[in-house]
Amino acid sequence: MANIHDVAQHAGVSIATISRMLSGENIRNRAAVERAISELGYRPNASARGLRLGRHHTIAVIVPDISNPYFAALVRGIEERAMAKGFRIIVASSDEKFTAESDVLGGLIDAVDAVAIVPAEASERTRRMLTELGKPVVLIDRTVGENPEFDLVHVDNAGGARMAAEYLLSLGHRRIGVISGRQETLPGQVRHTEFLDVLSAAGVEVKQEDTKIGEFTRAFGHQAACELMDTSSGITAVFVGNNTMAQGALLAFHAAGVSIPGDLSFLCFDDFDLAELLPAPVTVISRPAIAEGHAAADLLLARIDGADAGKPQEFRHMVLPVKLTIRKSCSEPPIH
């Protein structure tokens, strides 16, 4: 581990000269220094530089669960942009727990320049914790507290829910079930209410017993589907709020021998691998996870530059489009 002193000695100059060359200044015998650097395999020490500069070329990325394909793709998007600008990322999973986020960020914050987070809670304490970090923050997919002073990236949840509702309506469905995620989250809440609003405007009300709200998990999706089959025999279509719940629900319907779309039309948010290969290739509202990652990283990188340049910036909200991918899991309701 050669350090700057070794290089200086090797090249017969002072350490200041090395440092200057590394930061792009012109020096007299650049050739000798370059040779010394490559001969010794010198790499500036990141900790020393971070300590001195207060900048670490590192972004903290906190997601609920890195092993969820959607979040993995999101992280990939952030990583691509960050790497391109010479930044690296520290990744942590929160398991949807505020305390995990808080602990991780507490121990991390003075080693990173910015934070990209899919927050577990929309709570006030989350907003406060993030504000107190004193570093650029971008919220992804979900908001937090009231008027958060952060950049924000999410997809057009309302538009997606609207397309879903209109599509189901256009096929003739009038008795529809809904499986939605936690209403304390932005996507959980917006997708749910917007979907119901569109139906309602068309004179279609979703019954209490046809509405299931819970965690964004495969387990809850499964449970909700089972409950729907138990208690409400009348629905002809179901709308599910995300991919993990959708997988659970699909498994439950399949196990119970419910034919899709013969007995039940199925529509959900988020695409997934192999969707085309299912017996009834599933129709989805898909969103661009990688692009969301790109947008989030761009926002952060811009703000880091801005902080350097001393120019304050407005907080920006980026809303990315979703699209309705029609496959074969929805049809007209069965005739009675």
Partner DNA sequence: CTGAAAGCGCTAACAA
Partner DNA sequence: TTGTTAGCGCTTTCAG
Out of 27, 32, 40, 66, point to the residue binding its own copies (CB under 8 A): 66
Three-state DSSP state, 325: strand
83 binds, among DNA, its own copies, none (CB under 5 to 8 A by kind): its own copies
Q: Tokens standing for 254?
A: 């399949």
Q: How far is the CB of 252 from its own copies (least distance, A)?
A: 11
Q: How far is the CB of 6 from its own copies (least distance, A)?
A: 14
**Which 213-252 positions form the footprint of its own copies (CB under 8 A)?**
247, 250-251
Residue 48 sits in the site that holds DNA (CB under 7 A) = yes
Size of the residue set binding its own copies (CB under 8 A): 50
Residue 279 sits in the site that holds its own copies (CB under 8 A) = yes
DSSP symbols for 199-214: HHHTT-PPPGGGEEEE
Binding window for DNA (CB under 7 A); candidates: 49-57, 93-101, 159-167, 253-261: 49-57
User: What are the Cα distances from residue 203, in Å, to 173, 178, 199, 206, 266?
Assistant: 12, 16, 6, 10, 21
Taking the least distance from each CB to its own copies, the nearer of 33 and 104 is 104
Give dist(CA 150, CA 122) in Å, integer: 13
Residue 56 sits in the site that holds its own copies (CB under 8 A) = yes
Q: How far is the CB of 45 from DNA (least distance, A)?
A: 3
The answer to whether the CB of 293 falls within 8 A of the CB of 318 is no
17 binds, among its own copies, DNA, none (CB under 5 to 8 A by kind): DNA
Give dist(CA 27, CA 208) in Å, integer: 75
Out of 17, 93, 143, 243, point to the residue binding DNA (CB under 7 A): 17
Question: What is the CA 284 to chain-centroid distance, rounded?
Answer: 18
Computed from CA positions of residues 222, 224, 229, 235, in that sequence, does the dihedral angle turn out positive or negative?
negative
Backbone angles phi, psi at 194, to 5 degrees: -65, -40
Q: Which of 55, 56, 49 lies closest to 3, judged by CA?
A: 49
Out of 29, 170, 200, 231, point to the residue binding DNA (CB under 7 A): 29
Torsion of CA 181, 174, 202, 332, to 10 degrees: 100
Residue 109 sits in the site that holds its own copies (CB under 8 A) = yes
User: Which residues lie closer than 8 Å to 72 by C-beta, 6 or more apart?
Assistant: 66
Q: Tokens standing for 155?
A: 């997809």
Torsion of CA 118, 120, 122, 126, to 10 degrees: -90
Out of 15, 27, 32, 89, point to the residue binding its own copies (CB under 8 A): 89
Give dist(CA 91, CA 76) in Å, integer: 11
Binding window for its own copies (CB under 8 A); candidates: 99-107, 122-130, 185-193, 306-314: 99-107
Per-residue binding string, its own copies, 146-185, x by CB under 8 A, is: ----------------------------------------
Out of 31, 34, 51, 306, point to the residue binding DNA (CB under 7 A): 51
- Residue 329 neighbours by CB distance under 10 Å: 23
Out of 26, 273, 309, 314, point to the residue binding its own copies (CB under 8 A): 273
Q: How far is the CB of 296 from its own copies (least distance, A)?
A: 15
**Contact positions vs DNA (CB under 7 A):** 1, 3-5, 13-20, 22-23, 25-29, 42-45, 48-49, 51-53
**Contact positions vs its own copies (CB under 8 A):** 1, 41, 43, 45-48, 50-51, 56, 58, 65-69, 72-73, 75-76, 79, 83, 86, 88-93, 104, 106-111, 132, 134, 247, 250-251, 254, 272-274, 276-279, 290
